[in-house]
């Protein structure tokens, strides 16, 4: 009697834990990428301010996303010399990523911008 109750509790906890991890994964990745995106934009803007070279600023962005296990989806410098970046990463999932209606949840991207700084 008690062992059945305990088994139900353990199974319920396992199912709820799995669901929390599966559904929470995109949110956790989004929070992580927010920091990465701002770091990429800030460091690229600093490189742009120091060198004045957009290709060096992009190289800085590419190196940071490589170090942080993300990808650089877009990099642009506008007329006001503001660096705009979008970084992306795929959120881990065992089941829901395979469902067409929610697949896009697991392709997480975050955009950030940083103005060129005076040095």
The token pair that represents 83 in the structure block: 């660096």
What region does 19 belong to: left with phi over 0, alpha with psi -120 to 50, or beta? alpha
Backbone angles phi, psi at 100, to 5 degrees: -55, -40
CA–CA separation, 98 and 66 (whole Å): 26
Write out pLDDT tens, residues 85-99: 999 999 988 877 777
Q: Hunting for tokens 């803007």 — which residue is that?
A: 45
Task: Provide the terminal-to-terminal Cα distance of the chain, rounded to the nearest Å.
Answer: 73
| pLDDT 10s digits, 25-80 | 999 999 999 999 999 999 999 999 998 899 999 999 999 999 999 999 999 999 88
In degrees and rounded to multiples of 5, residue 6 shows phi and psi of -60, -40
Helix (H) or strand (E) holding 115: strand 107-115
**Is 60 exceeded by the pLDDT of residue 119?**
no
Question: Which residue do the tokens 């199974």 mark?
Answer: 11
Helix (H) or strand (E) holding 71: strand 71-77
């Amino acid at each position: 009697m008690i062992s059945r109750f305990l088994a139900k509790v353990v199974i319920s906890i396992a199912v709820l834990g799995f669901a929390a991890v599966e559904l929470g994964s995109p949110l956790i990745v989004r929070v992580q990428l927010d920091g990465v995106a701002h770091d990429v934009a800030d460091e690229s803007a600093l490189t742009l301010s120091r060198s004045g070279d957009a290709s060096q600023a992009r190289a800085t962005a590419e190196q940071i996303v490589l170090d942080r296990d993300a990808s650089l989806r877009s990099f642009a410098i506008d007329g006001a010399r503001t660096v705009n970046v979008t970084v992306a990463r795929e959120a881990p999932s065992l089941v829901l990523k395979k469902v067409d209606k929610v697949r896009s949840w697991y392709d997480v991207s975050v955009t950030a911008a940083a103005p060129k700084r005076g040095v």
